[in-house]
C-alpha cells in the first residue's frame, strides 16, 4: 500500500513539471536563442573565418619586353659527305692517303691495276703518230691535186677513229683512279691494298666540316617567317656556350606527318672545332614586343570557357578572364584582362576562388 502512494507522488511531480515546461517555454526560448548565437556559435564562426584565409605569392605587373622564340632540336651535318668507290672493278694496287688526314680536291686516293689499259693506250698512240704523218702528206698532195678528195677523207677518218679510241682508253684509265671530289678529311678506310674492289665496294668516307650545316624543324605556322638569311642561335645540351648561324635553305614542302618544315642553317666552323653528328638546341627569335604584359605560365588556369587568372583586390582573390598572346618557355603574353599595377597571384592556384581572403607571403615585381 505504501509503494502505491510513492508511485502516485512521483507521477504527480512529473506531470506538474511537464505542465510547467509547457507554460514557461515561450518565455525562455528567446533567451536560449540569444545564448546560442552569442556563445559557442560565434566561436565556431570565428574559427571558420580563420580557416578561409589563404597564403599566396604575388607579382606586381609592370611593362616588359617579350620576344617570340622558337625552340627546336637539331643536328650538326657536314657541309659535304660522300663514301667513295671506284667506277670500275679490279685489284687495288695503291692506297695514297693516311686515315684521318686532310686532302685536297683532285688528290689521288687509291688506284686499281690499269696495266692492260696502258698497253692499249701505247698501241693506239703509236697508230696515231703514223696516221698523223700520213694525213699530213696526203693533205699536201691534195693541195696540189695529186690525189682525190676521197683518198684524203679516208686517211682523215682513220686518224679521227684512233683519236676517239685513245680518248676512250684514257677515260677507262681515269676510272681506275679514285680522286677526292672536294677538299675535306678522310675517315677510316674499308679496304686494303691487294684486295679486289668492285663498283659497290666502299673505299673511304670523305667529309667536309667547314662550314657545318644545322638542320632543324619548326611548326608549319612559321613557314612564312623563316627565310634565307634568318639568324639563329644554337648550343649543345651539356654546354652553356652559344653559337650564331644563319639560315640558308628552307624546305618548300610541309611534312604531312609532323606538320613541320625542315630548315638548314650554316655555321662557318673555320677552326673546325665543332664535329658533325651532334645534337644541338636551336633558338630562333621571330619577333619582339615592347611594353607588354607577360606573366608566368603556371599562373594561367585553363578552362572550357577560356583562360583565367586571379589577382589580389582589396585583400581578396578576384578572377579575371584573359586573352593570351605570345608564348615562351616560361611566360605568356596577356593581351586583355590585366593591367599594369595589378597584383597577380602565382601560388595556391588550385585553392583560389572568387572573394577568398588572401594573405601575401611573398610579393615580387614582375620584370
Q: Tell me, rounded to whole angstroms, the distance of Cα 236 from its chain centroid.
A: 12
Cα 90 from Cα 201, distance rounded (Å): 11
Cα 203 from Cα 197, distance rounded (Å): 8
Q: Please state the domain extents for the chain.
A: 54-65+290-366, 71-78+207-288, 86-112+183-202, 114-175
Q: Which residues of 102-141 are buried (b: 16+ CB within 10 A; e: fewer)?
A: ebeeeeebbbbebeebeebbeebeebbeebeeebeebeee
Residues in the chain: 367
Grid cell in block for residue 366? 614582375
Residue 87 is predicted with a pLDDT of 94
Q: Where is pLDDT greater, at 190 or 353?
A: 190
Residue 365 is predicted with a pLDDT of 67
106 closest CA partner among 167, 171, 170, 178: 178
Q: For residue 127, what pLDDT band results from cuts at 50, 70 and 90?
A: very high
Reported as a single tens digit per residue, the pLDDT across 260-282 is 999 999 999 998 999 999 999 99
Q: For residue 210, what pLDDT band results from cuts at 50, 70 and 90?
A: very high
Cα 291 from Cα 278, distance rounded (Å): 39
CATH number of 54-65+290-366: 2.40.420.20
CATH number of 71-78+207-288: 2.40.30.170
Amino acid at each position: 500500500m505504501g509503494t502505491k502512494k510513492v508511485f502516485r507522488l512521483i507521477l504527480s511531480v512529473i506531470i506538474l513539471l511537464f505542465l510547467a515546461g509547457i507554460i514557461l517555454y515561450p518565455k525562455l526560448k528567446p533567451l536560449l536563442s540569444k545564448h546560442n548565437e552569442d556563445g559557442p556559435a560565434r566561436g565556431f564562426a570565428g574559427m571558420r573565418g580563420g580557416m578561409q584565409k589563404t597564403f599566396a605569392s604575388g607579382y606586381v605587373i609592370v611593362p616588359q619586353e617579350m620576344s617570340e622564340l622558337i625552340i627546336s632540336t637539331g643536328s650538326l651535318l657536314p657541309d659535304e659527305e660522300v663514301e667513295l668507290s671506284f667506277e670500275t672493278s679490279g685489284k687495288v694496287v695503291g692506297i695514297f692517303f693516311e686515315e684521318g688526314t686532310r686532302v685536297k680536291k683532285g688528290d689521288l686516293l687509291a688506284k686499281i691495276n690499269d696495266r692492260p689499259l696502258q698497253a692499249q693506250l701505247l698501241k693506239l698512240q703509236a697508230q696515231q703518230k703514223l696516221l698523223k704523218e700520213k694525213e699530213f702528206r696526203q693533205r699536201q698532195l691534195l693541195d696540189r691535186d695529186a690525189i682525190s678528195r676521197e683518198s684524203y677523207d679516208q686517211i682523215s677518218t682513220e686518224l679521227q677513229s684512233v683519236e676517239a679510241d685513245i680518248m676512250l682508253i684514257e677515260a677507262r684509265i681515269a676510272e681506275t683512279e679514285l680522286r677526292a671530289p672536294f677538299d675535306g678529311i678522310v675517315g677510316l678506310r674499308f679496304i686494303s691494298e691487294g684486295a679486289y674492289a668492285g663498283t659497290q665496294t666502299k673505299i673511304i668516307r670523305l667529309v667536309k666540316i667547314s662550314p657545318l650545316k644545322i638542320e632543324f624543324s619548326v611548326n608549319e605556322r612559321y613557314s612564312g617567317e623563316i627565310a634565307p638569311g634568318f639568324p639563329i642561335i644554337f648550343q649543345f645540351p651539356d654546354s652553356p656556350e652559344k653559337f650564331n648561324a644563319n639560315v640558308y635553305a628552307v624546305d618548300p614542302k610541309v611534312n604531312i606527318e609532323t606538320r613541320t618544315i625542315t630548315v638548314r642553317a650554316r655555321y662557318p666552323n673555320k677552326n673546325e672545332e665543332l664535329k658533325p653528328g651532334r645534337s644541338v638546341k636551336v633558338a630562333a627569335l621571330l619577333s619582339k614586343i615592347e611594353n607588354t604584359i607577360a606573366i608566368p605560365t603556371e599562373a594561367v588556369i585553363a578552362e572550357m570557357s577560356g583562360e583565367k587568372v586571379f589577382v589580389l583586390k582589396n585583400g581578396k582573390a578576384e578572377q579575371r578572364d584573359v586573352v593570351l598572346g605570345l608564348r615562351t618557355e616560361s611566360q605568356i603574353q596577356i593581351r586583355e584582362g590585366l593591367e599594369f599595377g595589378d597584383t597577380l597571384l602565382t601560388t595556391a592556384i588550385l585553392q583560389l576562388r572568387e572573394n577568398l581572403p588572401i594573405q601575401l607571403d611573398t610579393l615580387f615585381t614582375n620584370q
